[in-house]
Chain A
Amino acid sequence: MVIWIVILVLVLVLLWPDRGLYVRWQRRRRLLSRQAIEDALMHLHQRQHERRLASVESVASMLRIGTNDALGLVQRMEAQGLLTATGDGLRLSPDGYHWALQVVRAHRLFERYLADETEVPMEEIHARAHRLEHTLSVADLDRMDAALGHPAFDPQGDPIPTSTGEIPAMTGCSLVDWETARPAQIVHIEDEPPEVYAQIVAAGLGLGMVVTVVEATSTRLVVEADAVEHVLAPVVAANIWVHEAPQAAPGRPVERLTTLTVGEQGRVTALDPMCQGLTRRRFLDLGITPGVLIEPVMQSAFGEPTAYRVRGALIALRREQSDWIWIEAKGKEQ
């Protein structure tokens, strides 16, 4: 009797639809093979981008598998019409190129999603997106794209291919080539190599920030951002892309809402472009939109949150949130 129950339970655990071990194992296997193919496609795509050709050996070392396994993989992909093998190396076929672009799209959309809708630290986003990029169908990807508002760039400023495979053009130039004393806005941060990227993140530089090059020599760049000076090595600065900063409203300087003290008043000029996802949507719902008057009314005993009067309602915000809101100070209320 007990034996039968045990066997029944085991069989159920194994064969349960959707959740049974067998189904899971199958799914995992399929995923693994999809992941292998997609990783190989990405590798070929990257190589082509660098105007080099991939080989079975380079595929093997990139995917950390044996040469025999890599050969098998390449042969399978060739049979599927994803690549063509010639004497000098491996080339993507049009189908392969299209698929590769979809993987790039998935990766960058996931990065966008992680940056906007979660609190995953910026330096972990790339690795997480890499794990997730193989999990969605094209239809799901389209939905995610739409839900994110069809973003054109990922959090590092890399263009996200459209569903039809077009790649939005990138503007701007490297910070190294930018002239001194002219305000520039960061539009792209190269996330490879990770060491350099980590340095940029550590310096607190991010997309959308306005920076000014104070001093540029062949060994170092001194960059001012938010009244803080950062010293960057040229190799680091080269990975930061910038374009012309938007002109501040003439006359009054733009500052963060946090700088207002109780009794003063300000007019919102913009929500920081770095503020995305839930927080931005909430701001908009509450009527914190460009042009609105906002006035700190009281501060909590611990120094934050601060309650602001906006459109007649009293809304409490924490410091980092009021940092997202750019205002033009209006001074004391009359």
Chain B
Amino acid sequence: MAPKPPSGHHCESCALHAHLVQMGIQVDDWDYVVGLAGNPNVGKSTVFNALTGLKQHTGNWPGKTVVRAEGGFEFNGKRYKIIDLPGTYSLLSASVDEEIARDFILFGKPDCTVVVVDATVLERNLNLVLQVLEITDRVVVCLNLMDEARRKGIDVDHRALARDLGVPVVPTAARLGEGLGLLMRTVAEIIEGQTQTTPHRITGNPDLNRAVAELVPLLEAAYPGLPNARWVAMRLLDGDYRIRQALESGELLRLAGAGQSPERKAEEPALSLEVT
């Protein structure tokens, strides 16, 4: 999408223009890392392009983004590196794409994860959002394609959604450049701790909760400070190979340690994945 909003368009984009310096792919040096997750074909690449000024091709068919893209932008004097994760419906199925996205959100420990959702198919998109919320509380939901929702007469109450999810929700229409300034400000507030989140927890059913409740104390005792013991328990119960491995190899200990320290800024994101 057009990276340079024409003057006098949206007030929001004027403010955006003042603060935003698009850095394209020159992101050798950054203050924060932001992951961009979402279902396939929800305009994730458009959001990415609008933020970074890159022009990654965005076709209208699911799965267009097949390689992980990185870009950056500067906002209010801080440099953000942004990673466009492959589009996935879920983080459970362990396909290559889902593993890349899951590993990044869990082990890469981004400073913030933006989940882009399609406002016209909210219910399906919430599947991914609710999973991400179990992994991390540093989440901003980008309620994209608001223009399309309007056209179809779908009205989404983003305030109610934010209340239900317990994390900020920013309505956007990335194609028109709407809402992106607010999105960046919200991400900055999450990272700098100005916004507190209380992420929604999966309600579950008796069987599931009984099993999870038995495992969580064990995990918390063995890995004090593990930020997402509940999710790890669920993944173990589902037989997730990667999480098993992380448990066996002690990788989980490192995660637990990182979760404990409130000062995370100095730490390099422990990112060790290659897109093949």
The residues of A with any CB-CB pair to B shorter than 8 Å are 143, 145-150, 278, 281-282, 284-287, 311-313
Collect the chain A residues with CB atoms within 8 Å of residue B236's CB.
Answer: 146
Given contacts A147-B241, A149-B239, contact A285 B123 (CB under 8 A): no
Given contacts A281-B92, A282-B93, contact A287 B239 (CB under 8 A): no
> Are B121 and A311 interface neighbours, CB within 8 A?
yes
State the CA gap A56–B238 with chains docked (Å). 44
Find the A residue at minimum CB distance from B128: A285
State the CA gap A147–B240 with chains docked (Å). 6
State the CA gap A313–B93 with chains docked (Å). 19
Q: How far is the CB of B216 from chain A (nearest CB, A)?
A: 18
State the CA gap A285–B90 with chains docked (Å). 6
**Which of A143, A287, A311 makes the CB contact (< 8 A) with B244?**
A143
Q: How far is the CB of A152 from chain B (nearest CB, A)?
A: 13
**Which of A148, A281, A286 makes the CB contact (< 8 A) with B239?**
A148
Find the B residue at minimum CB distance from A146: B239
Query: Which residues of chain B in 118-150 are interfacial with respect to chain A, using CB atoms and an 8 Å cutoff?
Result: 120-124, 127
> Are B89 and A312 interface neighbours, CB within 8 A?
no
Q: How far is the CB of B177 from chain A (nearest CB, A)?
A: 25
Q: List 20 A-B pairs, Cβ < 8 Å.
A: A143-B241, A143-B244, A146-B240, A147-B239, A148-B239, A149-B238, A149-B239, A281-B92, A282-B93, A285-B92, A285-B93, A285-B127, A286-B89, A287-B123, A287-B124, A311-B121, A311-B123, A312-B122, A312-B123, A312-B124
> Are B123 and A281 interface neighbours, CB within 8 A?
no
> Are A150 and B239 interface neighbours, CB within 8 A?
yes
The residues of B with any CB-CB pair to A shorter than 8 Å are 89-90, 92-93, 120-124, 127, 236, 238-241, 244
Q: How far is the CB of B134 from chain A (nearest CB, A)?
A: 16
Q: How far is the CB of A140 from chain B (nearest CB, A)?
A: 11
> Are B124 and A146 interface neighbours, CB within 8 A?
no
Collect the chain B residues with CB atoms within 8 Å of residue A312's CB.
Answer: 120-124
Q: How far is the CB of A282 from chain B (nearest CB, A)?
A: 7
Q: How far is the CB of A287 from chain B (nearest CB, A)?
A: 5
Collect the chain A residues with CB atoms within 8 Å of residue B123's CB.
Answer: 287, 311-312
Collect the chain A residues with CB atoms within 8 Å of residue B93's CB.
Answer: 278, 281-282, 285
Q: How far is the CB of A150 from chain B (nearest CB, A)?
A: 7
> Are A285 and B241 interface neighbours, CB within 8 A?
no
**Which of A278, A282, A286 makes the CB contact (< 8 A) with B124?**
A286
> Are A313 and B124 interface neighbours, CB within 8 A?
yes
Q: How far is the CB of B96 from chain A (nearest CB, A)?
A: 13
Collect the chain B residues with CB atoms within 8 Å of residue A148's CB.
Answer: 239
- A149-B239, A312-B122 given; name 14 further pairs at CB < 8 Å: A143-B241, A145-B239, A146-B244, A147-B240, A147-B241, A281-B92, A281-B93, A282-B93, A284-B92, A285-B90, A286-B124, A287-B127, A311-B121, A312-B120
Q: How far is the CB of A151 from chain B (nearest CB, A)?
A: 10
Q: How far is the CB of B131 from chain A (nearest CB, A)?
A: 10
Q: How far is the CB of A1 from chain B (nearest CB, A)?
A: 40
Closest 4 CB pairs of A and B: A146-B239, A285-B89, A285-B90, A312-B121
Collect the chain B residues with CB atoms within 8 Å of residue A150's CB.
Answer: 239
Q: How far is the CB of A63 from chain B (nearest CB, A)?
A: 34
Q: How far is the CB of A325 from chain B (nearest CB, A)?
A: 16
Find the B residue at minimum CB distance from A151: B239
Q: How far is the CB of A166 from chain B (nearest CB, A)?
A: 18
State the CA gap A75–B92 with chains docked (Å). 49
Collect the chain A residues with CB atoms within 8 Å of residue B241's CB.
Answer: 143, 146-147
Collect the chain A residues with CB atoms within 8 Å of residue B92's CB.
Answer: 281, 284-285
State the CA gap A282–B92 with chains docked (Å). 10
Q: How far is the CB of A255 from chain B (nearest CB, A)?
A: 25
State the CA gap A284–B98 with chains docked (Å). 14
State the CA gap A278–B236 with chains docked (Å). 19
Collect the chain A residues with CB atoms within 8 Å of residue B240's CB.
Answer: 146-147
Collect the chain A residues with CB atoms within 8 Å of residue B238's CB.
Answer: 149
State the CA gap A146–B247 with chains docked (Å). 13
Q: How far is the CB of B41 from chain A (nearest CB, A)?
A: 10
Q: How far is the CB of B130 from chain A (nearest CB, A)?
A: 12
State the CA gap A312–B238 with chains docked (Å). 27
Q: How far is the CB of B169 from chain A (nearest CB, A)?
A: 18
Most buried by B among A143, A148, A285: A285
Most buried by B among A145, A282, A286, A287: A287
> Are A311 and B239 interface neighbours, CB within 8 A?
no
Collect the chain B residues with CB atoms within 8 Å of residue A286's CB.
Answer: 89, 124
Q: How far is the CB of B75 from chain A (nearest CB, A)?
A: 33
State the CA gap A147–B124 with chains docked (Å). 25
Q: How far is the CB of B173 from chain A (nearest CB, A)?
A: 18
State the CA gap A313–B236 with chains docked (Å). 30
State the CA gap A149–B90 with chains docked (Å). 18
Collect the chain B residues with CB atoms within 8 Å of residue A145's CB.
Answer: 239
Q: How far is the CB of B234 from chain A (nearest CB, A)?
A: 13
> Are A313 and B239 interface neighbours, CB within 8 A?
no
Q: How far is the CB of B126 from chain A (nearest CB, A)?
A: 9
Collect the chain A residues with CB atoms within 8 Å of residue B120's CB.
Answer: 312
State the CA gap A267–B236 with chains docked (Å). 31
Collect the chain B residues with CB atoms within 8 Å of residue A313's CB.
Answer: 121, 124
State the CA gap A149–B211 with chains docked (Å). 14
State the CA gap A285–B121 with chains docked (Å). 14
State the CA gap A28–B241 with chains docked (Å). 28
